[in-house]
């Protein structure tokens, strides 16, 4: 998808379709008396009378939409779409109004989703290019441009790779129509395109089934990407994993006939300070059967996305390599299958992690924390001063936070605050969960230093407590994306399938660290 910036007046833009934001301003002119009449049952007729406003400073646009807005058909309700052909006095062939919800709540968060909605509305109609008019609201012009471009990329991804009648519906180009400083807006546009493309790159990796995304194949994708964008990439196999005494990682890999891969990507720009070095560690379980503690058949097919954390880090590194912040970043992806076999580890086995800690395996399905334990320790050995890991780690995180928020854990408040700021800028939702010392009791072992499963209660937290043992005193953030890495349903703005969660926030976080 190509992206362009236009500083023309929207009415003058020649395009297949001009997209404009409609907001619900019903609330705006209502007085306290109206509200009290509502409460007292008077004013019934008026109550839901919509009052949509078209968010364009250009009067020709409001003119073109006047009749349909006046008719009350347009309410500005979030994701509502209204398509007009041959809009009067506009050079565009069509005019699409996309609802953005209540005007007083409108932010870049909604705007992103509206751009996705425009893409997903126009694509099946055969429209291949459109121009989105940046709304004239409180956001800065750059924020608007950025949200529109990122949202359009999110909407452009379709998971139907292997359908023989795949229509390959793609938007060829998006033009953002905005006003402001051309240089700065162009830069915002370019950056957003890189981030949007990288998020979709992650989603493509996650979407692939496990027979087409083995650890070896994931490593090949990482290598190819690294070559394209100028990153260093090393891939280590079983021998090196054993030689480095990554006993936790290997204990998962030993059960599979597919060789594991330890993928290391390095970004070391000239002129970056020696410190900090940001370490990004991803869980790359390309299929999680549960191992000997095997999962039920129902829904097991979904466990192809258990490498989403690893794919996230690979996508983030792509964006970082292209955006070139002045900070060293190292990504480590621990890629393996989790299989039952005659060689697989068994409950009760004791494994020695690279750090020297002994782990009693209670449940072979708690494999993500095992591969990450060695990934985190290795990152510290490579000189990382700050760590972030991302993993589809626990079903319990989905139970706690549903599909809306990913879980965040941190052993350092300052690092968390910075990350939280990045989340806001990226328009992603995550919720912090605690790491009190008391939870450590749940992972105590009789025979070894710790167990790999703290049971059902507080499962997301006890998993994070396990990881904390390997981050030790290095400032560290853990993202549990089990509930959010896969969209369970189609939405107006995003297709069912891999979401690419955390890519944007992590890119933003790395940029902030460099500044
Ligand atoms: N990959 C799963 C977690 C998961 C569940 C991801 C659902 C996406 C959707 C992880 O390896 C796992 O199996 N976790 C166990 C941990 C338990 C055995 C302590 C879980 O959540 O049940
Ligand atoms: Mn598992
Ligand atoms: Zn898993």
Give the residue extent of every domain in the chain. 2-180, 200-514
Q: Which atom of ligand 1 is nearest the CA belonging to 338?
A: 11
* 25 touches 105 (CB < 8 A): no
pLDDT score of 139: 85
Q: Which residues place a Cβ less than 5 A from the ion ligand 3? A: 285, 288, 306, 368
Ligand 1 lined by 367 (C-beta under 6 Å): yes
Q: Is 295 a catalytic residue?
A: yes
For residue 453 and ligand 1, the question of a CB distance below 6 A is answered with yes
Question: CA-CA distance, 7 to 354, in Å (whole number)?
Answer: 56
E-strand ranges in 103-166 read 129-133
| Whole-angstrom distance, CA of residue 474 vs CA of residue 381 | 11
Other beta carbons within 10 angstroms of residue 66's beta carbon come to: 13
CA–centroid distance, 104 to ligand 2, in Å, is: 43
Burial-class residue 67 by CB neighbours within 10 Å (0-12, 13-18, 19+): exposed
Per-residue pLDDT of the chain (515 residues; tens, 9 = 90+): 999 999 999 999 999 999 999 999 986 555 666 667 666 666 555 545 668 999 988 899 999 999 999 999 999 999 999 999 999 999 999 999 999 999 999 999 999 999 999 999 999 999 999 999 999 877 899 999 999 999 999 999 999 999 998 876 789 999 999 999 999 999 999 999 999 999 999 999 999 999 999 999 999 999 999 999 999 999 999 999 999 999 999 999 999 999 999 999 999 999 999 999 999 999 999 999 999 999 999 999 999 999 999 999 999 999 999 999 999 999 999 999 999 999 999 999 999 999 999 999 999 999 999 999 999 999 999 999 999 999 999 999 999 999 999 999 999 999 999 999 999 999 999 999 999 999 999 999 999 999 999 999 999 999 999 999 999 999 999 999 999 999 999 999 999 999 999 999 999 999 999 98
- Confirm if 94 and 85 have CB atoms less than 8 A apart: yes
Per CATH, domain 2-180 is 3.40.30.10: no
Residues in the chain: 515
Tell me if domain 2-180 and domain 200-514 are identical in fold: no
Q: Which fold has domain 200-514?
A: Aminopeptidase (3.40.630)
**Catalytic residue, candidates 94, 123, 318, 369:** 369
């Amino acid at each position: 998808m190509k992206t362009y910036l236009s500083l023309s007046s929207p009415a003058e833009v020649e395009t297949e379709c001009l997209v404009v934001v409609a907001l619900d301003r019903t609330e705006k002119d209502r007085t306290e008396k109206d509200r009290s009449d509502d409460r007292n049952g008077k004013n019934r007729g008026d109550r839901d009378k919509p009052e949509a406003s078209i968010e364009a400073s250009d009067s020709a646009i409001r003119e073109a939409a006047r009749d349909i807005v006046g008719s009350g058909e347009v309410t500005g309700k979030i994701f509502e779409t209204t398509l007009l052909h041959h809009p009067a006095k506009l050079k565009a062939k069509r005019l699409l109004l996309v609802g953005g919800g209540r005007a007083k709540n409108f932010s870049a968060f909604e705007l992103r989703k509206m751009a996705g909605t425009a893409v997903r509305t126009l694509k099946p109609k055969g429209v291949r290019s459109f121009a989105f008019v940046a709304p004239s609201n409180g956001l800065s012009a750059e924020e608007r441009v950025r949200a529109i471009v990122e949202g359009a990329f999110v909407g452009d991804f379709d998971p139907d790779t292997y359908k023989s009648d795949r229509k390959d519906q793609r938007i060829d180009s998006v033009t953002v129509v905005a006003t402001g400083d051309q240089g700065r807006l162009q830069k915002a546009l370019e950056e957003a395109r890189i981030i949007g493309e990288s998020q979709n790159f992650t989603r493509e990796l996650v979407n692939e089934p496990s027979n087409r995304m083995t650890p070896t194949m994931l490593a090949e994708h990482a290598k190819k990407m690294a070559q394209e964008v100028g990153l260093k990439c090393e891939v280590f196999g079983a021998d090196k994993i054993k030689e480095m005494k990554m006993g936790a990682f290997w204990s998962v890999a030993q059960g599979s006939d597919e060789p594991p891969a330890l993928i290391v990507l390095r970004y070391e720009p000239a002129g970056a300070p020696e410190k900090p070095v940001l370490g990004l560690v991803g869980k790359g379980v390309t299929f999680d059967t549960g191992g000997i503690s095997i999962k039920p058949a129902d829904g097991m097919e979904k466990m192809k996305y258990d490498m989403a954390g690893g794919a996230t880090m690979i996508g983030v590194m792509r964006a970082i390599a292209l955006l070139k912040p002045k900070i060293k970043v190292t990504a480590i992806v621990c890629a393996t299958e989790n299989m039952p076999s005659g060689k697989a580890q068994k409950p009760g086995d004791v494994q020695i992690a690279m750090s020297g800690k002994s782990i009693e395996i209670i449940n072979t399905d708690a494999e993500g924390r095992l591969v990450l334990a060695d990934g985190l320790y290795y990152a510290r050995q490579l000189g990382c001063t700050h760590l972030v890991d991302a993993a589809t780690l626990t079903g319990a995180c989905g139970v706690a936070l549903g599909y809306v928020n990913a879980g965040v854990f941190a052993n350092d408040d300052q690092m968390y605050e910075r990350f939280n700021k990045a989340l806001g800028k990226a328009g992603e939702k995550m919720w912090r969960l605690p790491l009190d010392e008391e939870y450590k009791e749940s992972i105590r072992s009789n025979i070894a230093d710790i167990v790999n499963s703290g049971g059902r209660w507080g499962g997301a937290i006890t998993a994070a407590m396990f990881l904390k043992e390997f981050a030790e005193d290095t400032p560290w953030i853990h993202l549990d994306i089990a509930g959010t890495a896969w969209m369970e349903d189609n939405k107006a703005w995003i297709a069912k399938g891999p979401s690419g969660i955390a890519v944007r926030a992590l890119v933003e976080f790395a940029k902030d660290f460099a500044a």
